[in-house]
Structure 1
């Protein structure tokens, strides 16, 4: 039996009750990242009072007034959660303005800092001189010595330094010198340390991130025998490590809009989660046991690639996207997305100013709202996996396009077709590559086969990127600023309409004939 025109969720109304919650929470987090702690506190109080007003107004409704009561309760919840986000922003701003690092930043003098490394070093290349770039790493303050006095406290710091900092690992305690600078607005860290000396390791403790970094490093080494494109792209597609990615291939992937494949994204997490669910079903486990097994598998994957905020965000969004595609939320995928976004903003308000977070939410929103519907437009004789392979990247691109052109005024002409062609190759790269990661660290000889399979598919993805990037008109200039954003919004709407018309020729013909008859009647009159 063919699907209904609107798809499985066409007859179900969107649950919009949590949309005000995420809008207020995001607005509060965005405002809190660019104002002082006092104003964040004022915003928290104002939202708390407004939430109380809505709550009282809802209680005064008569029993018959169910809808108004629900509306007031939703608005009250939005204000309360927005106030909680504002309080978190006030605490972060207060720690930055009056914390242990504030006097040293105001003096703008050299300091001696004792730090606990909490992240993995990343290269921040200087423009035009990638080899002379500086390394960045996240750390936490242990103590600070300035003007002969020692200050103890807790604060998050971003350290930038020379090549000596590329070897530090999470869990190490290091001592260094440098000057403290203000971070950019919207960043959660208290300060930026411009290190003037190499780190001196004073101690080391167990940190799961350090173990994960060593596992990832061995995985990169295990694929050295692959061709350069495959050897560089495979770690990026599996663990997000692009250190071995050839520069020419990176440029080709940017041109074709495929750079999201070289980072741990919601798609990776969806594949991992779906793989564990299918494995659990093969053993005929009950749904709760299968869900717990899949959640543990996803957690292990997150730990393996590094539990950074971007990875945790991808895991949450991947779970939402998979649930939306499988229909497991019974038409309430949008509510789940709003709830997940609000929780992430409560935990880390700085995500509100992150472009990566915005793109993740928009891509997941596109999957939630459009993917199943677009897939249902495709004729039933087309395999469902192929329909989903076209609908998912198209729906994500339609919503992410305006943000992408705001960052880079360029139109990737072949982005959709390149992602559709490369789509079937992403799953084997992710699954076999993930299997190979722990094997490369424990039993390298067993990792050869999965690395070979994943490497072949990764090489084909690289070939797709290079082929479409080499075509004429692969990257076209686009208008800058608000004009370019509005133009891309209109382009997305026209594209969606064109896709519907191409897949509903009979309906288009019927509507055209009705319009023709209406015009003829009007002219006769």
Structure 2
């Protein structure tokens, strides 16, 4: 083996030995704290099915029905092949023919992943056929005017218009078609459309049937809806809203009116944090919260659902209920909360992700949190494959993944002297920000410098606002005075959140520009990795110091070994070691490693001439024999 290869191999062994020595030595000499107790290993077996289903869902938004059919058949065939290979019986007489248990588990998991991907692709093929084939696709492609009867499928969403102040004039409403009349032809089909309308469309609730007229146009590439209907008239003859949806809408309106006695900032922020209603939120406060990365507080997110579910579980357990009844009651309460704020896809996603995050943090099953998240992702994508292209869905998954993978480790790294609730108050927003940052800069290329500071300051105030405000919502109609008292207390905390957002947004450098596109994603990913590594090093100063010192000692030992000839022996140029020859190999030290006491910190000569020492000296540089030396003066 060449000398340089031996040196590289020796160097890799040194680094590995130093690392193991530092880690094992620190663990052996330092008493283990409860936070460092061994926990269950993270189960990653469901990550492959989740990733495969997600890829199939995204492909279903871009591929044609024929291509999706090929994908489904190929996935099923390959899954059956892998399942057949995994089920092959073991033959002791021919070892190596049957798969090992590890390989058998991998093959079975891959087969299940392919079957689920085929199901997601088949579901996407239905929507793809509506987008590319049939009379509705032709009407959308030609931009015809239609008269349609549609069913409202979700809560209306206000569309922001640049340079427009005051109430929103344009609304976006997801609908399902019932009847479409165009050119004297009546189409009875159930397709997903997006209606763009005026102010009257913002008053609808899910479940209502309305009649409208407008013009169709194709959607953007990669979208799940079959088309966009630009309404030319307000919704006509809306039917009665469902009981639950109508009651929830009335409660939301009553809650906004009940909170109107508060100051402008808490009067607009409190309904947004509790029910997701931002109709009276001040524009200046909204802009300030966007600058410091606090917009997730003005919408129903996983944090809201986690707090509501956690409070319900604690209340049930305080009455000494068993786990199953407590889980059923808490799940029912969470379902009513979802109905209150509106059963949109984003709210359902937030409820499911919040439940996963709560179970992973407080359920005592740290190794199963990733499995729960993968199951939730698979279920949501199978129900609605269009979520695969949603940035909101991606951010929800990344935030939950950060809490599961990074948040618990950051909490464990915190010193014992710091209360666990304080450690969680810092770890949860930090872990979510580390995971969501690279995606956030793609949507908005700017860096919120004080985002972590603002969220940490506001985190103790979020729970009282959500819990007290949610408790006040059902009391607005039957018991207005207790509801007013709860709203007043919750409004005080929401005023603190608004003040935090305004103060941090006015600090110098609160919002810095960031590179766009892939460059911004990679730089933010690098920043997140550096931040996580810095936290790891700061939580283990003794291990880091031991690792550095051990590496330094190994480097010194390597240099001494190379200088003394104990390293790899090499032959001088021109000489070869012939097998059977008694001529020994001459060890050669590297150039410049001549031992000289007092020269440099490592006692090695640092005066390198740059000349290869193996080359023969020139005639003028060769030493003069002693018998040719003449004394001074020619004597």
For the residue of structure 2 that corresponds to 1:224, the secondary structure is helix
Change (3 A) 1:297 1:164: closer
- Tell me the CA shift for residue 4 of structure 1: 4.0
Query: Which residue number corresponds to residue 207 of structure 2?
Result: 171
Q: Distance in 1 between matches of 2:36 and 2:490?
A: 34
2:396 is the alignment partner of 1:360: yes
2:62 is the alignment partner of 1:34: yes
- Tell me the CA shift for residue 517 of structure 1: 2.3
Q: Distance in 1 between matches of 2:159 and 2:409?
A: 41
Q: Distance in 1 between matches of 2:243 and 2:365?
A: 36
1:13-34 Cα offsets, whole Å, 9 max, x none, are 2211111101100000011111
2:566 is the alignment partner of 1:510: no
Unaligned runs of 5+ residues in structure 1 are: none
1:437-489 Cα offsets, whole Å, 9 max, x none, are 11124332221111111111111011111111111111112122212111111
Q: Distance in 2 between matches of 1:60 and 1:98?
A: 43
- Tell me the CA shift for residue 48 of structure 1: 0.9
- Tell me the CA shift for residue 154 of structure 1: 1.7
Query: Which residue number corresponds to residue 609 of structure 2?
Result: none
Taking structure 2 as the reference length, the TM-score comes to: 0.79
Q: Distance in 1 between matches of 2:522 and 2:255?
A: 44
- Tell me the CA shift for residue 205 of structure 1: 4.6
Q: Distance in 2 between matches of 1:5 and 1:151?
A: 66
Q: How does 1:51-130 map to 2 (within 5 A)?
A: 51-60=79-88, 62=90, 65-98=100-133, 101-130=136-165
Query: How many residues end up aligned between the 2 structures?
Result: 524
Asked if structure 1 preserves the Cα contact closer than 8 Å seen for 2:58 and 2:385, the reply is: yes
Query: Which residue number corresponds to residue 426 of structure 1?
Result: 462
Query: Which residue number corresponds to residue 221 of structure 1?
Result: 257
Q: How does 1:465-480 map to 2 (within 5 A)?
A: 465-480=501-516
Query: Which residue number corresponds to residue 23 of structure 1?
Result: 51
For the residue of structure 2 that corresponds to 1:84, the secondary structure is helix
Q: Distance in 1 between matches of 2:491 and 2:255?
A: 12
Q: Distance in 2 between matches of 1:409 and 1:32?
A: 29
For the residue of structure 1 that corresponds to 2:237, the secondary structure is strand
Query: Which residue number corresponds to residue 270 of structure 2?
Result: 234
Out of 23, 26, 42, the position equivalent to 1:14 is 42
Structure number with greater Rg is: 2
1:175-201 Cα offsets, whole Å, 9 max, x none, are 221111122233332221101112211
Query: Which residue number corresponds to residue 490 of structure 2?
Result: 454
The structure where strand makes up a greater share of residues is 1
Asked if structure 1 preserves the Cα contact closer than 8 Å seen for 2:175 and 2:193, the reply is: yes
Q: Distance in 2 between matches of 1:158 and 1:295?
A: 31
1:245-270 Cα offsets, whole Å, 9 max, x none, are 11111111111111111111111111
Change (3 A) 1:464 1:205: closer
Out of 322, 329, 334, the position equivalent to 1:286 is 322
- Tell me the CA shift for residue 209 of structure 1: 2.4
Asked if structure 2 preserves the Cα contact closer than 8 Å seen for 1:100 and 1:153, the reply is: no
Query: Which residue number corresponds to residue 196 of structure 1?
Result: 232
Query: Which residue number corresponds to residue 292 of structure 2?
Result: 256
Q: Distance in 2 between matches of 1:165 and 1:3?
A: 61
Unaligned runs of 5+ residues in structure 2 are: 1-30, 91-97, 562-635
* Bigger shift: residues 110-119 or 429-438: 110-119
2:413 is the alignment partner of 1:377: yes
- Tell me the CA shift for residue 81 of structure 1: 0.2
Q: Distance in 1 between matches of 2:471 and 2:138?
A: 49
Asked if structure 1 preserves the Cα contact closer than 8 Å seen for 2:145 and 2:215, the reply is: yes
* Bigger shift: residues 430-439 or 131-140: 131-140
Asked if structure 2 preserves the Cα contact closer than 8 Å seen for 1:100 and 1:154, the reply is: no
Change (3 A) 1:61 1:68: farther
Out of 62, 65, 75, the position equivalent to 1:47 is 75
Out of 285, 296, 306, the position equivalent to 1:270 is 306
The structure where helix makes up a greater share of residues is 1
Asked if structure 2 preserves the Cα contact closer than 8 Å seen for 1:177 and 1:197, the reply is: yes
Asked if structure 2 preserves the Cα contact closer than 8 Å seen for 1:5 and 1:377, the reply is: no
- Tell me the CA shift for residue 289 of structure 1: 1.0
Asked if structure 2 preserves the Cα contact closer than 8 Å seen for 1:120 and 1:213, the reply is: no
- Tell me the CA shift for residue 7 of structure 1: 4.1
Asked if structure 2 preserves the Cα contact closer than 8 Å seen for 1:389 and 1:420, the reply is: yes
For the residue of structure 1 that corresponds to 2:246, the secondary structure is helix
Asked if structure 2 preserves the Cα contact closer than 8 Å seen for 1:177 and 1:195, the reply is: yes
1:19-72 Cα offsets, whole Å, 9 max, x none, are 110110000001111122222222111111111111011012528821111111
Query: Which residue number corresponds to residue 325 of structure 1?
Result: 361
